[in-house]
Chain A
């Protein structure tokens, strides 16, 4: 178990009266001595990864046992957890995990076991070394203990193979800058290991074949760092012309909207100008894109930026913005489509990050945690059945307060046919809104244990099991550094409620499943299921990729990458 994660599966939603709002008190600042201790630990971690780690992975890659031996003190001891006998197999994929049995190792046997992590590979594509936790165990002698993760991937027995090993190492770091240059490891205890292998890759990239590499979209990796943007586009996919192939609409935050027609599942043609989508003027709202059949004629109409277009039999688009009554502003992050009032036509829920000009503007700096007040109200546009919409967000109780909303999904949380709504919010708590069937919603975020203070950025809903109640998988921030640091503080270091929220800033993705014991609440199981430590995560998606009748999970991640030769922040 990684230090700092031990209580991650406890109650994820802090009691409502412990959620801070507005500016946090100055006494919430961490004790200076604790800050210094964290700094020292992170500095040792950096040197362990970037100095020893580089030498260690090079030795593993080149099978240099002499180099490996030089990292260990002469009397170094070790233990190694054994592999379990069972091998899980599905299709061409195999996974073998470890048992709970550990074997003590002599010095020589320990070195052999470590060398064997890579020895059997025919080719090695990558060896990784990361520090998962750190604590000082003896200040006088500068003795530290860390959980470290070693990964090896490559070809083994003709199959693509991946091996992950987690070990607790005890080591001396009197001079962190010298880590790895002389023997310093006192003990190495491998506590967890797993191997995975497969016969063939599961997906093949066809970006160039489909001409998607020729679009006028900006790539942060190809421009100066100061021009980098956190968001650049939104996507919406539908078969707008009913030719049997899915087409792509792209809303860009700073550029032209794009509509791509799928040509027989072989390539895409850009046709936005050809079908009547107008060019964009500078400073217009351009980010939002969503398909919605406004008038139930079977053709998907298109919301693009602050415009809404009627799809005329898949041949052209006609701008109906003014007659629709729809008003889109503040560069929304997305829209969720459903017939929330079950009246036969589709309604639109729009997620906002910032307040409108006529909404109260929050003064002063925004808090990092517990921020339920500096964002903007989300909008619910009720379809009037005559081609026009009416905004009913506040009246229905679905505006999600004034949070910074990233994403929303409709789902059937309870067993009626009125769609409920889950909203993922950044910096504040999330919302689960139960549709009452009378045009209003009840916020059950806290009573259902899904409030999830965790700086959320995305959400997937759907059925991962066969109990008939949907799962909610929320994308949050996670980093190994965050977990290491949180592992060194506790609730005692902060006023009530603050630690729980700060911990949420490296929560990782969370999976909420309706409880068997208490149907009114959800249980959170992401760590036990191995789907928690995704990274700085954005968009999760459920789909049955292998056709076995069970929904699988894909999750995007990665915040800002600039230089592979530099360390990560």
Chain B
């Protein structure tokens, strides 16, 4: 009846239920977790492909293979088989506690690996700007933790088929900057702080 206003609040049943079809009422929504009832149940995880500039997203969940209807909590998106494509490790409280999905997207795009080495200290907090013929790709190197799942820093960058990297700008964790304009066709690019 909209939400109860405090978490102990109980609201009375106000009418008949279609009990033949399983309609049910709980006087307090916080009772439901262990009641055996469904609540936001069998919802499918979602995958959206960015069509460019974040202006349009394709909902590709329906045929992604990762639209599982487990009660999922955490996810780590990173490469587990060294093909450089981000895979998905999903932890759930119901419907398979830990499930791994291998990225099988087939296209001619390239995944370039960047190994960056700060002069003193960690490379976490480095900002990479990969300038390409079509657009600039920003990558801030932090170990992402969306909810109960820490991913390693994402060192691979997708480059569309036929597109070249024109230069790379780096801002190191200490604030100094550097530009790289050589050997940009390599599949792995190592950059040391000067």
**Range of interface residues on A (Cβ < 8 Å):** 35 or more
**Per-residue B-contact encoding for A212-235, CB less than 8 Å = 1, 0 else:** 110101111100011111111111
A462 beta carbon closer than 8 Å to chain B = yes
Contact status of A416 and B175, CB under 8 A, knowing A47-B21, A88-B58, A339-B121: yes
Q: Please state if A202 and B65 are interface contacts (CB–CB under 8 Å).
A: yes
A-B contact pairs, 13 of them (CB 8 A): A90-B49, A201-B104, A221-B95, A233-B97, A293-B122, A336-B142, A419-B125, A505-B3, A538-B146, A542-B144, A548-B109, A556-B147, A558-B70
Query: What is the CB-to-nearest-CB distance from A164 to chain B, in angstroms, rounded to a whole number?
Result: 9
**Residue in contact with A559 in the complex, picked from B40, B83, B96, B142, CB distance below 8 Å:** B40
Bound Cα distance from A549 to B161, whole angstroms: 10
Which residues of chain B are within 8 angstroms of A235 by Cβ–Cβ distance? 74, 76, 89, 91, 98, 148-150
Q: Please state if B41 and A39 are interface contacts (CB–CB under 8 Å).
A: no
Q: Please state if B85 and A545 are interface contacts (CB–CB under 8 Å).
A: yes
Q: Which of B20-78 contact A (CB under 8 A)?
A: 20-24, 26, 32-60, 62-66, 69-78
Q: Please state if B57 and A553 are interface contacts (CB–CB under 8 Å).
A: yes
B186 beta carbon closer than 8 Å to chain A = no
Which residues of chain A are within 8 angstroms of B51 by Cβ–Cβ distance? 88, 90, 550
A567 beta carbon closer than 8 Å to chain B = yes
Which residues of chain A are within 8 angstroms of B58 by Cβ–Cβ distance? 88, 90, 93, 95, 196
Q: Which of A71-127 contact B (CB under 8 A)?
A: 88, 90-93, 95
**Residue in contact with B98 in the complex, picked from A40, A233, A238, CB distance below 8 Å:** A233
Give 16 A-B pairs besides A368-B3, A556-B92 with Cβ atoms closer than 8 angstroms. A50-B18, A91-B107, A92-B106, A201-B63, A215-B98, A291-B152, A338-B124, A368-B5, A502-B3, A538-B73, A539-B72, A544-B50, A550-B53, A560-B37, A560-B40, A568-B39
A401 beta carbon closer than 8 Å to chain B = no
Q: Please state if A246 and B80 are interface contacts (CB–CB under 8 Å).
A: yes
Q: How many residues of B contact A (CB 8 A)?
A: 134
Q: Please state if B150 and A464 are interface contacts (CB–CB under 8 Å).
A: no
Query: What is the CB-to-nearest-CB distance from A459 to chain B, in angstroms, rounded to a whole number?
Result: 6
A463 beta carbon closer than 8 Å to chain B = yes
Contact status of A233 and B157, CB under 8 A, knowing A162-B62, A546-B109, A566-B38: no
Q: Which of A316-344 contact B (CB under 8 A)?
A: 333-339, 342-344
A138 beta carbon closer than 8 Å to chain B = no
Q: Please state if A248 and B89 are interface contacts (CB–CB under 8 Å).
A: yes
Question: Which 10 pairs show the lowest CB-CB distances between chains A and B?
Answer: A344-B121, A547-B158, A458-B147, A547-B109, A464-B54, A265-B81, A220-B94, A536-B40, A217-B97, A225-B36
Contact status of A465 and B23, CB under 8 A, knowing A219-B95, A246-B152, A568-B38: no
**Residue in contact with B57 in the complex, picked from A91, A530, A566, CB distance below 8 Å:** A530
Q: Which of B96-135 contact A (CB under 8 A)?
A: 96-107, 109-111, 120-122, 124-125, 127, 129, 132, 134-135
Which residues of chain B are within 8 angstroms of A262 by Cβ–Cβ distance? 80
Q: Please state if A558 and B175 are interface contacts (CB–CB under 8 Å).
A: no
Bound Cα distance from A334 to B73, whole angstroms: 12
B137 beta carbon closer than 8 Å to chain A = yes
Q: Which of A518-557 contact B (CB under 8 A)?
A: 529-531, 534-536, 538-557
**Residue in contact with A88 in the complex, picked from B2, B26, B56, B64, CB distance below 8 Å:** B56
Q: Please state if A231 and B82 are interface contacts (CB–CB under 8 Å).
A: no
Which residues of chain B are within 8 angstroms of A463 by Cβ–Cβ distance? 137-140
**Residue in contact with B48 in the complex, picked from A204, A410, A553, CB distance below 8 Å:** A553
B191 beta carbon closer than 8 Å to chain A = no
Query: What is the CB-to-nearest-CB distance from A567 to chain B, in angstroms, rounded to a whole number?
Result: 5
A569 beta carbon closer than 8 Å to chain B = yes
A446 beta carbon closer than 8 Å to chain B = no
Contact status of A475 and B146, CB under 8 A, knowing A30-B1, A547-B158: yes
Which residues of chain B are within 8 angstroms of A544 by Cβ–Cβ distance? 50, 86, 156-158
Which residue of chain A has its CB nearest to the CB of B138? A463
**Residue in contact with B63 in the complex, picked from A198, A215, A505, A547, CB distance below 8 Å:** A198
Query: What is the CB-to-nearest-CB distance from B65 to chain A, in angstroms, rounded to a whole number?
Result: 4
Which residues of chain B are within 8 angstroms of A454 by Cβ–Cβ distance? none
Contact status of A550 and B54, CB under 8 A, knowing A93-B60, A368-B9, A463-B138: yes
Q: Which of A395-447 contact B (CB under 8 A)?
A: 406-412, 416-417, 419, 424
Which residues of chain B are within 8 angstroms of A485 by Cβ–Cβ distance? 1-2
Bound Cα distance from A235 to B17, whole angstroms: 42
Q: Please state if B160 and A558 are interface contacts (CB–CB under 8 Å).
A: no
A448 beta carbon closer than 8 Å to chain B = no
B88 beta carbon closer than 8 Å to chain A = yes
Bound Cα distance from A453 to B103, whole angstroms: 35
A496 beta carbon closer than 8 Å to chain B = no
**Residue in contact with B145 in the complex, picked from A230, A334, A367, A468, CB distance below 8 Å:** A334
Q: Please state if A177 and B41 are interface contacts (CB–CB under 8 Å).
A: no
Contact status of A196 and B150, CB under 8 A, knowing A217-B97, A246-B79: no
Contact status of A547 and B111, CB under 8 A, knowing A46-B23, A406-B147, A462-B144: yes
Q: Please state if A205 and B99 are interface contacts (CB–CB under 8 Å).
A: yes
Which residue of chain B has its CB nearest to the CB of A458? B147
A366 beta carbon closer than 8 Å to chain B = yes
Which residue of chain A has its CB nearest to the CB of B98? A212
Q: Please state if B54 and A559 are interface contacts (CB–CB under 8 Å).
A: no
Q: Which of B65, B107, B140, B146 has most A Cβ within 10 Å? A: B146
Stretch at the interface among A21-29, A59-67, A142-150, A278-286: A21-29
Q: Please state if A176 and B96 are interface contacts (CB–CB under 8 Å).
A: no
Q: Please state if A369 and B5 are interface contacts (CB–CB under 8 Å).
A: yes
Which residues of chain B are within 8 angstroms of A173 by Cβ–Cβ distance? none
Which residues of chain A are within 8 angstroms of B163 by Cβ–Cβ distance? 549
Which residues of chain A are within 8 angstroms of B65 by Cβ–Cβ distance? 201-205
Q: Please state if A460 and B144 are interface contacts (CB–CB under 8 Å).
A: yes
Bound Cα distance from A339 to B122, whole angstroms: 8
